[in-house]
Amino acid sequence: MAIDLAVVPVAGRGTRLLPLTKSQPKEMLPVGRRPVVQYVVEELARCGIKRILFVTGPGKTAIENHFDIDVELINHLRETGKEEFLAELAFEREDVEYFYVRQRRQLGLGHAVLCSRAFVDGDCFVVALGDSILGLNERSRIVEVMVERFKASEAAAVIAFEEVAPEDVAEYGIALPRDKDAEVFILDDLVEKPDPSQAPSNLAVAGRYVFSPVIFEALAETPPGKNGEIQLTDAIRRLIRAGRKVLGIRLPPGERRFDIGHFESYFRAVVEFAVADPQFGAALRQRLGIKSC
């Protein structure tokens, strides 16, 4: 059973990044030399994904334009002697097919994933959040590792986690792991954005999931939860409570997630990618008095 399909929700309004996101999708914000969502697509392609379904919403057409093959631009670069820039469009030729479905009402991440149900049509699939970059310098293979685990374990879901500072748990889905020190663990519970005083751990959902289609049954029965939204976390919790096996897997040491959902983490991503730039990073580090990265 090959898993070659990823659902990438990109319908969120990006409210926490206003006014940046008033007329452009947060997934198209620049980090280093690419818009955020291009890193996500390249990561998925590296991990064997061949079909990507974006769940879009109002104001997101820039994402569709970005992944089109722009013949006019290619010709323009050729005709004006700017062939050196053609390499920057190599991502257009990624061995991936793109599909789009609209989330017609903003009812939360769980509802966005539910909008992919007819397309997914009974397959097992990956969900990769379009506003989360994994790892600097195109190295992350976590989705590939998760898919292997998923296939070997007969789990209903495998979810990537990273440790966050205790005060940041209120921003994320937080795990109750059966074995808190294990690299791969059974999830006993998952809580969306808990109060830090009640958080079951500081292991936060890192924006990558592998699901069997049973998630759709759970999502269809999930009422609005935190912030009045239909939460993917709550549907996963239903699976756990129904006795289904759900596994957590930690990001490997040294691999971090850059969450573009709010300014603090967005700024961190912008700075870290800029100082790691192969061409300008060294000079920038010197200027900023940063020793290495």
Q: Which residues bind ligand G1P (CB under 6 A)?
A: 12, 109, 129, 132, 172-173, 192, 204-205, 207, 231-233, 259, 261
Residue entry with tokens 């149900």: 117
Closer residue to ligand G1P, CB minimum distance, 66 or 257: 257
Closest approach of ligand G1P to the CB of residue 24, in Å: 18
Closest approach of ligand G1P to the CB of residue 17, in Å: 11
Closer residue to ligand G1P, CB minimum distance, 32 or 173: 173
Q: Which of 11, 255, 48 is nearest to 133 (CA)?
A: 255
Closest approach of ligand G1P to the CB of residue 163, in Å: 13
Closer residue to ligand G1P, CB minimum distance, 121 or 166: 166
**Cα dihedral sign, 172-253-245-110:** positive
Closest approach of ligand G1P to the CB of residue 201, in Å: 13
H helices present in the chain, as ranges: 36-46, 61-67, 71-79, 109-114, 117-120, 142-153, 214-220, 232-241, 263-275, 281-288
Closer residue to ligand G1P, CB minimum distance, 32 or 207: 207
CB-based contact 246:187 (threshold 8 Å): yes
Closer residue to ligand G1P, CB minimum distance, 67 or 172: 172
Q: Which of 180, 138, 171, 145 is nearest to 160 (CA)?
A: 145
Q: Which residues contact 187 (CB under 8 A, 6 or more apart)?
A: 159, 175, 176, 177, 178, 236, 240, 246, 247, 248
In this structure, the number of other CB atoms found within 10 A of the CB of residue 271 comes to: 15
**Which residue in the shown chain puts its C-beta closest to ligand G1P?**
173
Closer residue to ligand G1P, CB minimum distance, 94 or 259: 259
Closest approach of ligand G1P to the CB of residue 173, in Å: 3
Closest approach of ligand G1P to the CB of residue 204, in Å: 5
* Cα gap 232→225, rounded to integer Å: 10
